Amino acid sequence: MRISVLGLGYIGLPTALLFASAGYNVVGVDVNDKKVKLLNDGKLPFQEPGLEELFEKAKQNFKATTEVEESDVFLIAVPTPLDEKTKAADLRYVRSASEMIVPHLRKENLVILESTVPPKTTERLLIPILEKSGLKAGKDFHVVHCPERAIPGKTIHEMIYNDRIIGGITKESAELAKELYSSFVKGNIYITDATTAEFVKLIENTYRDVNIALVNELAQIAEEYGINIWEAIELANRHPRVNLHKPGPGVGGHCIAIDPWFLIQDSSNGKMIALARHVNDTMPNYTLRRVREMLKGVDYPTITVFGVAYKGNVDDARETPALRFIRLAKNDGFKVKVYDPFVNEFEYPILGLEEAVRDSDCIVVITDHDVFRFLDPDDIGKLMRNRCVFDARNVLDHEKWRRAGFKVRVLGDGKENL
Ligand code: SAJ
């Protein structure tokens, strides 16, 4: 049985390799010919824990190409970015991937959409395109929406062990896809209809976004009262039905900062969801206000941003709140230097640690990379002009930094009015 996976990105590639390692004959299709060549030369286009070992195991059943060929199964895992102007999904890649399938679609084929999409996309966009083949969805061929649920940094583990939702346009479509995914998924697989599956995916990430917005707002309220939000959250979470998230300098990544817009783009409701987006999007502004206050009296301040990845321990800087923070800081006249031991590509140069902290007045921790905990504040302090650190993630060992002569402030530490 041949499976064609369209889109060899963070989700498509590991999925293709998991099917290949389960014994299927997998063709990975991508419009980027450099990526295709790289893969056929046995190299990976990005890093993810466990991906290399998986590639080794799957290689013999996998090939990459730029053209779609006849298959039994077509799986679409292309990006669905947010169109910033309209705050709606940009579905051009889903459209073009579906169109690429049309000439090769045969009776009894199964088409799987994994990309995150607004509710009704399977029904209103995907199926009409596929039916240009002259075949009828649900009768001649099968269609399901099976949203990915894996978290970057643990993608492969979560693809295997997380529960999955499969939304079929018919029960038969869903059952067929369930059998296929059972070849590598060890979590439970639940079956529903395609629109419900689209909706479920979006509400998972909206749940997280709204909860993060809540603690981000609580952090600001706590500061008005002069109390520490981190202590307050820890105590509140002792309640059996409370599970507050962590405040921070904002929300990034290609999912949580985007999916809530897909949910409300075609709805006249969703006021709280839009408000939560606003709260999270403006956390870099709040972070900067706190840094500015810390550096009062310092002429021509230089700050060093620690971490531009959208979250800890990954090399991914998509939609990172660090970008907004840096732009705002520059507009404010700050000189900004950047250090991130994981990220290679970014809008601003990424410096080595020493160069990044030399003559700086303040370190601003934007990303919770674990390695930041092991830095030596004595060594760093010697290179700086002023010893200040603002920890927007509450990840450093603050006592250690204080002992090294640093003035330390933490987002939500209640020190705003002191
Ligand atoms: N963040 C906070 N406070 C928190 C938790 C996260 O500020 O308490 C920030 C992170 O620093 C980051 C952003 O939120 O900037 C998102 O990070 P994340 O780790 O919560 O999630 P993602 O975007 O890496 O992956 C999410 C996951 N969804 C859920 O946990 C509901 C993942 O399972 C999905 O597969 C993925 O979105 C996706 O592709 O949709």
| Burial class of residue 137 (count of CB atoms within 10 Å of its CB; 0-12, 13-18, 19+) | buried
Least Cα distance to 304 among 319, 331, 325 occurs for 325
Q: Which residue among 156, 162, 208 is best mutated to probe the pocket of ligand 1, counting the most ligand atoms within 8 A of its Cβ?
A: 208
**Cα 288 to Cα 68: distance, rounded to the nearest angstrom:** 48
Burial of 360 (0-12, 13-18, 19+ CB in 10 A): buried
CA angle 311, 363, 298 (to 5 degrees): 145
Question: For ligand 1, what atom is nearest to the CA of residue 250?
Answer: 7
Query: Do 171 and 191 touch, CB atoms closer than 8 A?
Result: yes
* Res 225: pLDDT: 94
Total-model pTM: 0.94
- In angstroms, the CA 76 to CA 92 distance is 13
d(C-alpha 278, C-alpha 210), whole Å:
10
358 lines ligand 1 (CB under 6 A): no
What are the φ/ψ torsions at residue 88 (nearest 5 degrees)? -130, 165
Ligand 1 touching residue 248 (CB < 6 A): yes
| Cα end-to-end distance, the chain, whole Å | 68
Instruction: Please confirm, yes or no, whether 388 is among the known catalytic residues.
Output: no
Structure tokens at 113: 């959409």
Of all protein residues, the one whose alpha carbon is nearest to atom 7 of ligand 1 is 248
> C-alpha distances in angstroms, 198 versus 116, 130, 162, 288, 333?
7, 18, 17, 37, 44
Specify the pLDDT at position 47.
85
Q: Residue 20: what residue type?
A: A
Closest CA to 15 of 169, 177, 142: 177
Annotated catalytic residue: which of 35, 178, 255, 362?
255
Highest CATH level, class, for 283-417: alpha beta
Residue 201 annotated among the catalytic residues of the structure: yes
- The one-digit pLDDT tens for each residue of the chain (418 residues) are 999 999 999 999 999 999 999 999 999 999 999 999 999 999 999 889 999 999 999 999 999 999 999 999 999 999 999 999 999 999 999 999 999 999 999 999 999 999 999 999 999 999 999 999 999 999 999 999 999 999 988 999 999 999 999 999 999 999 999 999 999 999 999 999 999 999 999 999 999 999 999 999 999 999 999 999 999 999 999 999 999 999 999 999 989 999 999 999 999 999 999 999 999 999 999 999 999 999 999 999 999 999 999 999 998 999 999 999 999 999 999 999 999 999 999 999 999 999 999 999 999 999 999 999 999 999 999 999 999 999 999 999 999 999 999 999 999 998 754 4
Contact 256 CB / ligand 1 (< 6 Å): yes
Residue whose CA is closest, atom 4 of ligand 1? 246
Q: Helix 194-225 crosses helix 271-281 at what angle (to 10 degrees)?
A: 50
How far away, in angstroms, is 83 Cα from ligand 1 center?
20
Contact 118, 125 (CB under 8 A): no
> How far does the centroid of ligand 1 lie from the alpha carbon of residue 185, in Å?
21
- Is 283-417 the same fold as 2-193? yes
Location of structure tokens 């963070």: 10
Length of the chain, please?
Answer: 418
Query: In this structure, what token pair is assigned to residue 392?
Result: 């927007």
Whole-number Å distance, alpha carbon 257 to ligand 1 midpoint, is 9
Q: Does the beta carbon of 246 lie inside 6 Å of ligand 1?
A: yes
Contact (Cβ atoms closer than 8 angstroms) between residue 5 and residue 71:
no
Taking the CA atoms of residue 234, residue 152, residue 158 and residue 100 in that order, the dihedral angle to the nearest 10 degrees is 150
Q: Which of 35, 178, 201, 337 is catalytic?
A: 201
Q: How confident is the model at residue 418, as a pLDDT?
A: 44
Residue ranges of domains in the chain:
2-193, 283-417
CA–centroid distance, 259 to ligand 1, in Å, is: 11
Atom of ligand 1 nearest to the CA of 319: 15
Contacts of 49 (CB under 8 A, 6+ apart): 153, 154, 155, 156, 157
Ligand 1, atom nearest to 207 Cα: 31
Pick the CATH number of 2-193 from 3.40.50.720, 1.10.2020.10, 3.90.1640.10, 1.10.510.10: 3.40.50.720
Asked if 177 and 168 touch (Cβ cutoff 8 Å), the reply is yes
